[in-house]
Amino acid sequence: MDKYVTGAVIRRLRESKKLTQEELAQQLFVSSKAVSKWETGQGFPDISLLEPLAKALGISVIELLSGEEFRNRNRASDMARSKFYICPVCGNVIRTVGEALVSCCGITLPPAEPEEPDPDHLIRVEISEDEYYVTVEHPMTKDHYISFLAAVSDHGVQFTKLYPEGNAEARFRIDRVKGLYAYCNRHGLFEKKPGI
Ligand SMILES: [Fe+2]
């Protein structure tokens, strides 16, 4: 957790829910004086109250801690515009269709910004029948390897998890693919448009 809830956030959210300090206090089984103290920076709600507090304010705990409410403005949800979030601690990969606040292992993750492949991370594509055969010439050691390959179309994602000592290769259906991605655990995300 890199932030804790602030009084200003509690007040803003409480007021936008049209709750009085007393009404919020009742829902949390605390005194209205306690709520007043949080809002004026003279105290913090106990961590055990974060979940009921978020619930009472109609948001998630993560939103409460970040002080921002997230609403997906991309309801049309073009998959090709979605993002990868990669956890540097456990290697988890999260793919979102629209904007999101993503947290893993206690860290709020930024979306991975893909780069053009450099000579050490060239993504090669061969077409065989209805498939892209994708390879990356890259070490696959325990410390430095390509940890996944993905093909993103406007309606879905094909994803292949890779492991050290394996081959940096995958096969994807040629199905409206807009971008091919390779993620190196040391150097980040690389993107190639098929056919280029
Ligand atoms: Fe690398």
pLDDT digits (tens, 9 = 90+) for 110-157: 889 899 999 999 999 999 888 999 999 999 999 999 999 999 988 889
Which residues are close to ligand 1, an ion, with C-beta < 5 A?
184, 186-187
151 CA from centroid of ligand 1 (Å) = 19
| pLDDT average, residue stretch 162-177 | 94
**Per-residue pLDDT for 2 more than 60?**
no
Condensed to tens digits (0 to 9), the pLDDT of residues 29-76 reads: 999 999 999 999 888 888 889 999 999 998 888 888 877 766 555 555
135 CA from centroid of ligand 1 (Å) = 14
Q: Are 78 and 92 in contact (CB under 8 A)?
A: no
Q: Read off φ and ψ for residue 114, nearest 5 degrees.
A: -70, 145
190 CA from centroid of ligand 1 (Å) = 10
75 CA from centroid of ligand 1 (Å) = 35
Adjacent-strand bridge partners of 34: none
167 CA from centroid of ligand 1 (Å) = 14
**Which of these, 141, 178, 183, 185, lies nearest to 160 by C-alpha position?**
183
**Per-residue pLDDT for 180 more than 90?**
yes
133 CA from centroid of ligand 1 (Å) = 20
Q: Are 178 and 157 in contact (CB under 8 A)?
A: no
Q: What is the pTM of this model?
A: 0.64
Q: Are 166 and 124 in contact (CB under 8 A)?
A: no
Q: Which residue has the tokens 């803003």?
A: 12
Q: Is 103 helix (H, G, I), strand (E, B) or coil?
A: strand
Between the alpha carbon of residue 58 and those of residues 42, 49, 157, the distances in Å are: 24, 14, 31
Question: What pLDDT is attached to residue 75?
Answer: 55
Q: Are 112 and 187 in contact (CB under 8 A)?
A: no
186 CA from centroid of ligand 1 (Å) = 5
